[in-house]
Amino acid sequence: MRGGGPMDLLEQVQRMQEEMAQVQQSLAEEIVEVTVGGGAVRAVMTGSLNLKELHIDPDLLDPEDVDMLQDMIISAVNQAIAKAQELAAERMGAITGGLSIPGLF
């Protein structure tokens, strides 16, 4: 029976790294979706923070009110990023046991 020696710790770290790589790969395939302005602007993003789609209701395309549209787009994208980061933190937290590891997400 082996104790908790350095080799055991190294094996655990290697397994954790493999699991984290698998989670990161699966996050690239997961989708989060956010709408703002009552559905007028919708952002679709992967769990790895790639913006996949941006839908804008054509009724918002008013040359007199571009500022509002820009604000809604920024809001939708920022909310989608936050939602994707929460998803990544949740998935990685399951592997790391809640440890905060800089640079992971």
Q: Tell whether the model's pLDDT for residue 55 goes beyond 50.
A: yes
Buried b (16+ CB within 10 A) or exposed e, 59-93: eeeeeeeeeebeebbeebbebbbebbeebbeebbe
User: Residue 41's pLDDT is what?
Assistant: 94
State pTM to two decimals.
0.69
Q: Write out the CATH class of domain 6-96.
A: alpha beta
- Number of Cβ within 10 Å of residue 12's Cβ equals 11
Read off the pLDDT of each residue in 64-73 and give the average, rounded to a whole number.
89
Q: Tell whether the model's pLDDT for residue 100 goes beyond 80.
A: no
Pairwise CA distance, residues 36 & 34, whole Å: 7
